[in-house]
């Protein structure tokens, strides 16, 4: 009886170690992806890292159900996206509150080239932010790590045809807004 219990305990430890090893592999291969997804929403490095970290912590808790690579990445992306949106809404409310009580920051002088680039980037992000969530996630994922339509479909859980049409719509709207 004791032998059986010991064997069960040993096998349990072995399973745990194997899980941790697998999780480490997933962490290394998906950390940049999760960070960039969070960054596409928040555009703040520290906040994006916090959100990605939170998503990995949640993924670890449910890792027994997420051992498959594709399933893990899809779950991680959706979780990161949701957490980032939540953080963005919370931050938006906080910033509005703080700006109501603070004087405007002094303007920092910048070169013309830098200013133009910055304006262009701001316009791009504003255009992306104006997209509906379902179009935004598709266009962001398609531009991270050179994902093709099939990969975006797997990550979002959508049919490839839907991804293609949403990508087309998103690009069309971005083009209209940026012209």
Partner 1 sequence: MNNHRSDDARDESAIDREIKAALSVEPSPEFLARVRTRVANEPAPTGWRLPWVFAAAGAVVATIVIAVAVSRSGQRTDVNSIGRAPWSAKVVPEVPVTPPPAVPVEQPRVAESDMKPKRPAIVVSGFSRTEPEVLIDPGEARALRRLLAGIRDRRIDVATLPPELLQPLAAIQPLSAIQPMAPIEPIQPAAQ
Residues lying near partner 1 in the complex (CB under 8 A) are found at: 8, 11-12, 15-16, 19, 23-24, 27-28, 31-32, 35-36, 39-40, 45, 48-49, 52-53, 56-57, 60-65, 120-121, 124-125, 128, 139-140, 142-144, 171, 174-175, 178-179
Q: Report in angstroms how near the CB of residue 99 gets to partner 1 at its nearest.
A: 24
Phi-psi region of 157 (alpha: psi -120 to 50; beta: other; left: phi over 0): left
Nearer to partner 1, 97 or 125 (CB): 125
Q: How far is the CB of 138 from partner 1 (least distance, A)?
A: 12
Backbone angles phi, psi at 161, to 5 degrees: -60, -40
Q: How far is the CB of 72 from partner 1 (least distance, A)?
A: 12
Q: What is the DSSP string of 62-120?
A: TGGG--SHHHHHHHHHHHHHHHHHHHHHHHHHHHHHHHTTSPPPPPPP--HHHHHHHHH
Name the one residue in this structure whose structure tokens are 């940026």.
178
Q: Which residue, 20 or 99, is less far from partner 1 as judged by CB?
A: 20
Q: How far is the CB of 15 from partner 1 (least distance, A)?
A: 7
Q: For partner 1, which is the closer residue by CB, 142 or 163?
A: 142
Other beta carbons less than 10 A from residue 49's beta carbon? 16
């Amino acid at each position: 009886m004791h032998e059986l219990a010991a064997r069960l305990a040993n096998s349990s430890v072995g399973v745990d170690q194997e899980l941790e090893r697998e999780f480490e592999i997933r962490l290394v291969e998906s950390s940049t992806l999760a960070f960039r997804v969070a960054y596409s929403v928040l555009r703040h490095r520290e906040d994006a890292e916090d959100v990605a970290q939170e998503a990995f912590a949640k993924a670890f808790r449910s890792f027994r159900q997420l051992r498959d690579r594709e399933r893990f990445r899809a779950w991680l992306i959706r979780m990161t996206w949701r957490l980032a949106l939540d953080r963005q809404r919370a931050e938006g409310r906080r910033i509005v509150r703080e700006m109501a009580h603070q004087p405007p920051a002094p303007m920092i002088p910048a070169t013309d080239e830098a200013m133009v680039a910055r304006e262009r980037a701001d316009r791009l992000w504003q255009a992306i932010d104006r997209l509906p969530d379902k179009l935004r996630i598709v266009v962001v994922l398609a531009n991270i790590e050179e994902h093709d339509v099939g990969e975006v479909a797997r990550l979002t859980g959508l049919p490839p045809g839907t991804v293609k049409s949403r990508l087309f719509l998103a690009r069309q709207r971005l083009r209209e807004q940026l012209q």
